[in-house]
Amino acid sequence: MAASTTVFITGAGRGIGKGLVQAYLQRPNHTVIGSVRDSTSPNYDELKKTPAAEGSRLILLTLDALKAEDPAKAIKAAEEAGITHIDIVIANAGAIPAPSPLEAVVLNDVVETLQVNTISPVALYQASKPLLEKSAKPIWLSMSSAAGSITNVAPYQTHWLLAYGSSKAAFNFFTVAMHSAHPNFIAYAIHPGLVQTDMGNQGAKMQGLEKAPVTIEDSCSMIMESVASATREKTSGRFFNVTDGTEIPW
């Protein structure tokens, strides 16, 4: 039997995370670990019913990104379920407060967004690092956003998204730090495009669109293709728009 690939996806309850879980489970010999914030939600029960290809299985865990201890608890639960290595981590869970002028930004929104979008992924990295190091090709994918580009704040007026943009910029720094610290890791960040999720449709409306132009299915396909072709030399330590393959300035 072919070797099994283990993928850990946070924010699996909806949107891109849910789409990635479903798509990876359609591939044979894949163990997909999905984390959701609340195991009592209907999303959790729906995910449990996801069909899987031959040799594939789903492990569902709870991980509340607002709780600093949850990533370590999730990794421990994965190990208790028989996980001995992780090949791919997709740090997808995220939060975005409503747009606001700088002078009206709610400071607690900034704190909570940094916790979800930056600090929780750092905690997940620390907990999952020993399992990633057991992979022949460890990959860490940061689900970032073009709003995290400091270069593009003025051209795209993303000062309206202070909490979200700054949290993603910090997330980007951490991604490059991981690339720098681990010569054998592939660690990179992507902008998934304006995808038809709650956050993506919100962003599209800010730009005068009725809804986001990219479907969840198409987004997941492009993300998975990006992961499959990622290399240390051409991908790691960089920031890409997966919808067109262009590199985004930090």
pLDDT of residue 180: 98
Report yes or no on 175 lying in a domain: yes
Report yes or no on 250 lying in a domain: no
Catalytic residue among 24, 125, 129, 164: 164
**What is the pLDDT tens value at each position of the chain, 250 positions in all?**
467 999 999 999 999 999 999 999 999 999 999 999 988 888 888 899 999 999 999 999 999 999 999 999 999 999 999 999 999 999 999 999 999 999 999 999 999 999 999 999 999 999 999 999 999 999 999 999 999 999 999 999 999 999 999 999 999 999 999 999 999 999 999 999 877 776 666 666 666 766 777 788 999 999 999 999 999 999 999 999 999 999 999 9
Domain ranges, residue 182: 5-241
CATH of the domain at 182: 3.40.50.720
Catalytic residue among 18, 129, 168, 188: 168
Report yes or no on 247 lying in a domain: no
Report yes or no on 72 lying in a domain: yes
Written in H, E and C, the secondary structure of the chain is CCCCEEEEECCCCCHHHHHHHHHHHCCCCEEEEEEECCCCCHHHHHHHCCCCCCCCEEEEEECCCCCCCHHHHHHHHHHHCCCCCCCEEEECCCCCCCCCCHHHCCHHHHHHHHHHHHHHHHHHHHHHHHHHCCCCCCEEEEECCHHHCCCCHHHHCHHHHHHHHHHHHHHHHHHHHHHHHCCCCEEEEEECCCECCHHHHHHHHHCCCCCCCECHHHHHHHHHHHHHHCCCCCCCCCEEECCCCCECCC
Q: How many domains is the chain partitioned into structurally?
A: 1
Whether residue 125 lies in the annotated active site: no
Report yes or no on 189 lying in a domain: yes
pLDDT of residue 39: 86
Report yes or no on 249 lying in a domain: no
Whether residue 188 lies in the annotated active site: no
pTM of the model: 0.94
